[in-house]
A and B are shown apart, each in its own frame.
Chain A
Amino acid sequence: MVLGVFSFNASRIANWNGFTLDWYLQVFGDSLLWEGTLNSLIIATATTAIATALGTLAAYSLWKTKAPVLTTSLYLSLVTPEVLTGVSLLLLFQLLFRLIHLRLGMHTVILAHVSFSLVYVVLVVLSRLRQFDRDLEDAALDLGGTPWQTFWHVTLPLLVPGILAAALLCFTVSFDDYVITSLVAGIDSQTLPMLIYAMARKGVSPEVNALSVLITVVLGALILAADRIEQRSSAKLKA
């Protein structure tokens, strides 16, 4: 219990470098930071959209039937050190770009992120599915629905909380990634973690602290809001 609170507060304690708002203003004024944040947001959103969609479908498929090849590849991707993922994708892209005229950029980062976040989505959705009652599906089929209809109208809506959780996890993992991103990023895709790393390397900067407090506050608000919405929707369900 204490640990929970502590872990929540730890990073905020370290940020009390004085109570001026100057640094916050500097954060807002720093266009480089904005660009980085925007890039991170775009990449994370795109990745989440793609990975959640593909991952949910894959998880459903894995729940229904066995697919050793896919399971193995997902396992392996979990086990791979980030550096290796990044470097291997870099090699692939560089080879590819000798043939087609493209360069490293946002698209390569998105592709890379999808590659490693797929497994997280599958993990979350699959575990949710495991708790799912198969009878519901069977009932729907008995009533004359096609497999697709069953999926779309029965399973999927009930799966939504799990999908959201997976999407959240995917978004976080993608937004926060440094290692892989720094390897496959192009000249137009400086992300927030990359910028933070560059800033923090020069020592603890109040600007970084201000930024982290901001992120914590924003995310905290989002979580509270999400929770409020969920409570309201579950109340509606019960009614």
Chain B
Amino acid sequence: MNRRIFLFGLSTALSSCTSGRKPRLNVYNWDNYVARDTIGEFERRHGCRVRYGVYASAEEMLAKVLTGNSGWDVVFPSNSFVQPMRDLDLLLPLDRGKLRNAGNLERRFRSPEWDPGLNWCIPYMHSATGIIYSNSVARVPQSWADLWTESYSRRLTMLDDPAEVFAACLKRFGCSINSADDRELRKARDLAIEQKPLLRAYLNEEVRDQVVAGDVLVAQMWAQVAQVAISSNPHLSFVFPSEGFALYADNISILRESKHRELAYEFVDYLLEARTAAAIASEVHAATANGAARELLPQSERNNAILYPSAETLRRGEWFRALSVTAQRLRDRYWTEIKSA
């Protein structure tokens, strides 16, 4: 027993030792969403230390911060998570006066549908879901329906994400990707089961390697990841399906539990600087919501059609929304049916 107490004390002492004298900001972000020196420069400017954690899914982040006592200060929720996190009282209402650079945001992100007053979050990077394909395919995919054909048999993958798979199926009937209607969802489920024998696998980001290597010819993929793939293999292309596609954006929010609010505001403001955002967008091949940053990007990146689709293309896009409990239940059940078919 003594040993336990000793070790307990030791570990607590150790962890408090490492925190040091400088104030420490705790940032919890998606992986690969900052440039090499982004954090370092912030630390130097403000004489602080930043603990930078990464997560792979929004659910993972939510599970961690749900208690209101997680230790994180700044998080990056996707747009469909902002409303739920507000309802759970997890977010700090933003004092816009403290964010001098908020004016840098691109027009269409100054009043997004998930937070019209930008009281709870600041849009950070945005993306969409489409189809990436190898230029060597005999039949170039233009729509979701093309993914149901025999042409790519076994060298086709879809995302391992119920929201995305349902979105693709629902778009084929012209329904909303956020549909909660049981009949529509059931039709979507049947479609997905129909497609399953044609699929190699349900994979998320990890399929990028396989597409680059040529294992997989066609994949449902996020625009940002597709751009990264194309950068390493120019014989790939990306298309926004004709029936419509899903849009999403990651945003910066400060948690209500944060003990370093001032520092957190500085961090958000720092990320809103044109130079910082441009550096990040350039390095990770992401589409920044920061209009001023976009101006600073080289011509080729600024007008990259994959990352910054034209207004006409965007018209076919639809934002993800938070779903009701019943809708979630239905979708989850159908997703299990799809996966185990």
Instruction: Tell me whether B197 is interfacial, beta carbon within 8 Å.
Output: no
In the bound complex, how far is the Cα of B7 from the Cα of A53, in angstroms? 13
In the bound complex, how far is the Cα of B15 from the Cα of A42, in angstroms? 11
Instruction: Tell me whether A94 is interfacial, beta carbon within 8 Å.
Output: yes
Q: Which residues of A contact B18 (CB under 8 A)?
A: 188
29 contacts between A and B (CB under 8 A): A42-B11, A46-B7, A46-B11, A49-B3, A53-B3, A97-B67, A98-B69, A103-B69, A103-B70, A103-B71, A104-B70, A104-B71, A105-B15, A107-B8, A107-B11, A107-B12, A187-B28, A187-B51, A187-B70, A187-B71, A188-B71, A198-B31, A201-B56, A201-B204, A201-B205, A202-B31, A202-B32, A202-B205, A203-B205
Q: Which residues of B contact A53 (CB under 8 A)?
A: 3
**Binary interface profile of A, 119-161, with partner B (CB < 8 Å = 1, else 0)?**
0000000000000000000000000000000000000000000
Instruction: Using CB atoms, name the residue of chain B closest to A43.
Output: B11
CB distance from B84 to the nearest CB of A (A): 18
In the bound complex, how far is the Cα of B51 from the Cα of A188, in angstroms? 8
CB distance from B4 to the nearest CB of A (A): 6
Instruction: Tell me whether A190 is interfacial, beta carbon within 8 Å.
Output: yes
Q: Which of B12, B26, B56 contacts A187 (CB 8 A)?
A: B26
Decide: B15 and A203 in contact? CB cutoff 8 A: no
Q: Is the interface of A mostly helix, strand, loop or mixed?
A: helix
Residues facing A in B147-185 (CB within 8 A) are none
**Binary interface profile of A, 185-221, with partner B (CB < 8 Å = 1, else 0)?**
0111010000001101111100000000000000000
Q: Is the interface of B mostly helix, strand, loop or mixed?
A: mixed
Instruction: Using CB atoms, name the residue of chain B closest to A35.
Output: B18
Decide: A204 and B71 in contact? CB cutoff 8 A: no
In the bound complex, how far is the Cα of B206 from the Cα of A200, in angstroms? 8
The size bracket of the interface on A is 20 to 34
Decide: B69 and A97 in contact? CB cutoff 8 A: yes
Residues facing B in A93-108 (CB within 8 A) are 94, 97-98, 103-107
In the bound complex, how far is the Cα of B8 from the Cα of A107, in angstroms? 7
In the bound complex, how far is the Cα of B204 from the Cα of A68, in angstroms? 46
In the bound complex, how far is the Cα of B313 from the Cα of A220, in angstroms? 56
Decide: A203 and B209 in contact? CB cutoff 8 A: yes
In the bound complex, how far is the Cα of B95 from the Cα of A175, in angstroms? 44
CB distance from B273 to the nearest CB of A (A): 25
Residues facing B in A25-76 (CB within 8 A) are 42, 46, 49-50, 53
Decide: A187 and B53 in contact? CB cutoff 8 A: yes
Q: Which residues of A contact B209 (CB under 8 A)?
A: 203-204
Decide: A190 and B7 in contact? CB cutoff 8 A: no
9 A-B pairs closest in CB distance? A203-B209, A187-B71, A94-B67, A106-B11, A103-B71, A46-B7, A107-B11, A203-B206, A203-B208
Decide: B67 and A190 in contact? CB cutoff 8 A: no
In the bound complex, how far is the Cα of B53 from the Cα of A104, in angstroms? 14
**Binary interface profile of A, 154-191, with partner B (CB < 8 Å = 1, else 0)?**
00000000000000000000000000000000111010
Instruction: Using CB atoms, name the residue of chain A closest to B31.
Output: A198
CB distance from A202 to the nearest CB of B (A): 5
In the bound complex, how far is the Cα of B67 from the Cα of A94, in angstroms? 7
Q: Which residues of B contact A190 (CB under 8 A)?
A: 53
Q: Which of A106, A197, A200 contacts B15 (CB 8 A)?
A: A106
Q: Which residues of B contact A198 (CB under 8 A)?
A: 31, 54, 56
Instruction: Using CB atoms, name the residue of chain B closest to A189.
Output: B15
In the bound complex, how far is the Cα of B72 from the Cα of A105, in angstroms? 12
Residue of A107, A110, A190 contacting most chain B CB atoms (<10 Å)? A107
In the bound complex, how far is the Cα of B89 from the Cα of A210, in angstroms? 44
